[in-house]
Amino acid sequence: EEWERVRKPDDPQEAPEEAYDPRCLYERLQEQKMKKEMEFEEAHKLKNMIKGLDDDEINFLDQVDKHKIEAEKRKNAEEEEAIAEYR
């Protein structure tokens, strides 16, 4: 019945018999589970490749932030001076 629904015109009239698997159900289910786990790991491999920052990188980024803050403070001070001179 199901075979009739999925059968293509060039397929045989009767459904092909499934190959006999002598392994027990537990072994077959374990194999399926392992395949799913490997597919999941492969799909999430890129996510696992992302690493954290080391100390040198953190120090560099802190230094860059400090320079930006200092430049912003200087700019604000110059603007305040210019406004004070204008008044």
pTM: 0.41
Domain segments of the chain as ranges: 23-52, 53-87
pLDDT for residue 33:
98
- pLDDT tens for each residue of 34-59: 999 999 988 888 777 777 788 999 99
Residue in 25, 5, 26 with CA at minimum distance from that of residue 15: 5
Residues 6+ apart with CB under 8 A from 3: 14, 15
Q: Which residues of the chain have pLDDT under 70?
A: 1-5, 9, 12-16
pLDDT for residue 47:
73
